[in-house]
Structure 1
Amino acid sequence: MKLSVIASLLSILYLPAVFSCTTILVGDKATADGSYIIARNADHSALTNQHYFHHPRIDNASGKFKSSFNDFTYPVPKTSLAYDSFAKAMTHDHSWGSAGFNEAGVGMTATETIFNNPAVLKIDPYVENTGINEDSIINVILPRAKTAKEGVEILGKIIEDRGAAEGFGVAFVDPDGIWYLETASGHQWMATKLNSEDCFVSANQGRLQQYDPKDTAHYLASPDLIRFAEQHGLYNPQQDGVFDFHKVYSKDDKTDVRYNYPRVLRLQHQYNPHLTTVLSEPMAFPVFTKPEKLLTVDDIKAGLRDHYQGTKDDPYAEKDPYAPKRPISVFRTYESNILQVRPELPQAIGEVTYIGWGMTALTPYIPFYEGAKIPHIFREGGNSADEHSAFWQLRTVQTLAMVDYKQFAPIVQSAYQKMEQEQAQLMHKTEQEYLALYKKDPKAAQKLLDDFEITIANQTMATAKKLQLELITKLTADIDHKYHFAGA
């Protein structure tokens, strides 16, 4: 009996993140510093501890990758590139990579859970038992992709040959730009390269529409994407006009209007305040927008932390766990990642991953340089609370703050905002010192980055511990006041 209960719990923890994630992509001419940014909230279970790992380069590698979710396997490349990944603790980073960069300068975040057209899936269903899925993508693609476009091509070929086990969107970035891939069915897919001036938002649904098979510099897809739709009566060029990927291959229903479109609308209006789109007409939403002002990493953080604050739809201010609109920041977010590529800088500091453990509205984003050693505290702990791991130190603050969001959230947010500003100043100083060092003294430059990460880790954990004590003190006073029993 005990074994069956444990097995059931494990299966829940390994389930794909259904109804999860919000993705933001920003081209280099839409950012204030000329960087490319891909970002995503991963939402599933509040108890899912995440570890941040570095996988070393392996020459003459052999064997197979094995999914921890289904029976999907894939050969390990002979030369397995070094890469970082952000994975569920229970897998020991054998799978569920989530996000990271590799030594070739390719970054990925995977996946945005999406849902394909049920009519298409009747013809070409997901290959649930042996197809590729969220737990496999990062750990299969990053060890072998030399460019973002090649990453798209590798994943696309796997979908064609082996099938997709579920619907998903995946973002790729390198110094040349951003690509975004969406599944269409069990074996169909398409991807587009983001224009430099554009911003793209996705929230648990297929968003891509335009596809030009002749323009391979900006579009890639399964070879028979359009022909398949025609053959099965899903698309008629004479009646339907220009091929629309979303109309043919994506699902649109009442759930999208309540659960997905509000998040897209919120972020598009946040970055483009003069947009006139309304929730009652979601098909009028643009797929891509040009932000009215150049965006920064802080703007992306704000988007990923959004929960309709300042409106009647804020579930936390209104203490409404059944609010009709699903917010972007939810308590069950187990990690949030922002991957930034600054092509003009050396790769070691030009590629930065900002990671938020847990609920984004109540957690700091911690910067990690691609060239730095990852402190061990970010690779500790499991799915039960402890006193040592970074995840549980940060999650404890969030749990305490949610007891009285209106009173405690401002305290937490103010402390982390101050800390993030201090860390941004330290980043600037570290980068200037690195640029002066890395050519003449590579070892000293490396130590500089490693020391930066240790300093950041210590500062973050000290701030979290201080917040825990402050919130416990305030809760103690509140409870004492409520149940004082001091006589008449």
Structure 2
Amino acid sequence: MKKITLLSALIASTLSVPSFACTTILVGNQATKDGSFIVARNEDYQANNTKQFIYHPAEAKQKADFKSNANDFTYPAAEHALEYTSLSDYDTKGTSMGEAGFNSAGVGISATETIYNGSKALAADPYVTKTGIGEDAIENVILPRVHTAKEGVELLGKIIEKQGASEGFGVAFVDKTGIWYLETGSGHQWMAQKLPADKYFVSANQGRLSTYKPHNPDYLASPTLVSFAENHALYTPVTGEAFNFHKAYSQDTQNDVTYNYPRVWTLQHMYTQGLKTKIDQGQNFPVFLTPTHKLTINDVEQGLRNHYQGTSHDPYANNNPKEPYRPISVFRTQESHILQVRPSLPIAIGETEYMAYGMSALSVYIPYYQGMTQVPKALTLGNDKADDQSANWQFRKLQTLAMTNWNEFAPIVQKAYQQFEQQTAVKQQALEKQYLAIYKKEPKKAQALINQFEQKTVDDALTLTHDLTNTLLTKMTHDTDMLYHFEGA
């Protein structure tokens, strides 16, 4: 039985295909230019898997218990369920695989960063694959119930301890007081740390947390985290050597050297100049860093769009789909999101989700305010087959065309979207000024301003995308004509 358990753990930790491979960036408010907290992630899976932006209204009691679409995990219906948003897979009808969003209490979640726990840890405490909680359930279970980021960590932690985790994951929680990041250690072990306010953190499909201080308010964990590690030889106390969560519960394999390390190394060197770390020595990467310059939303967007451009490892400019370094921005990205919390503003406009459909390097980030109550219809449509109505497929079709000739087409798309984002940022400032002037005396009118802004911004983005698609098709038509011209004498 022990041999079977060990074999299962080895398969889960070393042979799993990284299908849900994502990249996460967290930034404390003292490390940002405008004093905001930032949680960001690329959700990478399958290009045909359409994402839908779902608005979930508040409920006195949810109509049914939560039932996972991925396994047999269930959770009781929430009493006094909070209003929240999610980015759900098309085939879940918004009930699961929520991925990211804010609730009406001001809590934001990004779930999950897929990570792989160590084989020894999983041999002792395997994932509860049949009934444990996983990526499919986390956002939709947690957001309707919690009023603070810390409360979200504690609720998810209790679920892991009682029902188990079905897979390895990292989850980010944010509110006006800060950012928390939770990582699994095994089927029932976990730890979380509050991000230092003056630091940023990067994760790429690998457990990154290391230090654990059991009596420090900035740390939370399963009650037996350290004793379990001691009892199963994952950690042996030695004089001068403190407990290290990563060494005890995570893994460093040959696959990490090309799949994970380059992404973390690239972002850390992008944001912090003068680092001496080597790209193939991930064990030596710092966990938290201070940026050389305070970061902005644009800096985070550029990080999520990175594909080693300007180097020999750029798979797109070099037309090399077999490039060994896995880029941050991949074509199979389903959506890329950035959750921003500005504590000094009302929640309705102080909490914003920037979301780009599809491949981040060829997409446009559109801001969605927490106060939005009417989601533009195009965001709620689409499935796994191309169409002309859903926002997902309108962006995806343009990206597919651009990938046929990256060096010629990508700059056209990127320049147009960059200008659109800059123009939108100016319009945001105008909207926020209008909102602040009337939201106390005329709350309904203020909310209407947000809904109108969102609809107009999405409409304009889709019009631009339509025009860009026609621009590329015009060029492709001309190029095809020249290639197969067969003009006579």
Aligned twin of 2:306: 306
| Structure-2 separation of matches of 1:454 and 1:57 | 22
Contact 1:17-1:43 within 8 A present in 2 as well:
no
Aligned partner of 1:68 in structure 2 is 69
For the 8 Å contact 1:114–1:204, the answer to whether it is kept is yes
Q: Residue in 2 aligned with 1:384? A: 385
- 238 and 17 in structure 1: CA distance in 2 versus 1, 3 angstrom threshold: closer
SS in 1 for 2:61: coil
In the alignment, is the contact (CA less than 8 A) between 2:204 and 2:261 conserved in 1? Answer: yes
CA offsets 1:373-428 (integer angstroms, 9 cap, x no match)? 21111001111000010000000110000000000000000010111111111000
Equivalent AA in structure 1 for residue 324 of structure 2:
P
Q: Which residue of 1 aligns with 2:163?
A: 162
In structure 2, the residue matched to 1:349 is 349
Q: Deviations over 1:128-148 (max 9, x none)?
A: 000001000000000101100
SS in structure 2 of the partner of residue 275 of structure 1: coil
Return the alpha-carbon distance in structure 2 between the equivalents of residues 106 and 280 of structure 1: 36
Instruction: Tell me the equivalent position of 1:11.
Output: none
List per-residue Cα deviations over 1:268-325 (Å, max 9, x = no partner): 0000121111113222210000001010000000000000001111000000000010
| 1:483 shift after superposition | 1.1
Q: Partners in 2 of 1:321 and 1:431 — Cα distance? A: 43
Question: Secondary structure at 1:463's aligned position in 2?
Answer: helix
Distance 1:239 1:70 in 2: 44
Rate the CA distance shift 1:111–1:253 in 2: closer, same or farther, 3 A. Answer: same
Q: 1:80 is matched with which residue?
A: 81
Q: TM-score, with normalisation over the residues of structure 1?
A: 0.96
Which SS does the other structure have where 1:241 is aligned?
coil
Q: Which runs of 5+ in 1 are unaligned?
A: 1-14
1 CA distance for matches of 2:209 and 2:99? 22
Question: Does the CA contact (< 8 Å) of 1:16 and 1:134 recur in 2?
Answer: no
Q: In the alignment, does 2:316 pair up with 1:291?
A: no
Matched letter for residue 435 of structure 2: Y
**1:43-88: per-residue Cα shift (whole Å, max 9, x none)?**
0000011000111111133531000000000001211111111100
Within 2, Cα distance between the matches of 1:444 and 1:93? 28
Residues matched between the structures, number: 473
* Distance across 2 between alignment mates of 1:17 and 1:335: 17
RMSD of aligned C-alpha atoms? 1.2
More moved, 240-249 vs 201-210? 240-249
Secondary structure at the counterpart of residue 60 of structure 2: coil
Taking the TM superposition and a 5 Å limit, the aligned residue runs for 1:76-225 are 76-215=77-216, 217-225=217-225
Contact 1:57 1:81 in 2 (8 A): yes
2:456 aligns with: 455
Residue of structure 1 equivalent to 2:9: none
TM-score under structure 2 length normalisation: 0.95
Q: In the alignment, which residue of structure 1 is the partner of 2:359?
A: 359
What pairs with 1:437-476 in structure 2 (closer than 5 Å)?
A: 437-476=438-477
Counterpart secondary structure, 1:440: coil
Percentage identity across aligned positions?
Answer: 55
Q: Which amino acid aligns with 1:378?
A: L
2:80 is paired with a residue of what secondary structure?
A: coil
Compute the displacement of 1:18 (Å): 2.7
Per the TM alignment, residue 446 of structure 1 is displaced from its structure 2 partner at its CA by 1.0
Whole-angstrom distance in 2 between the partners of 1:59 and 1:230:
45
Q: What amino acid is the match of 2:85?
A: D
Contact conserved, 1:62 with 1:78, CA < 8 A, in 2?
no
2:321 is the counterpart of 1:321: yes
Q: Counterparts of 2:61 and 2:85 in 1: how far apart (Å)?
A: 20
Q: Unaligned regions of 5+ residues in structure 2, if any?
A: 1-15
Quote the Cα distance in structure 2 between the aligned partners of 1:233 and 1:276: 33
Distance 1:464 1:61 in 2: 38
Q: Deviations over 1:439-466 (max 9, x none)?
A: 1111211111111001101110000000
SS at match of 2:315: coil
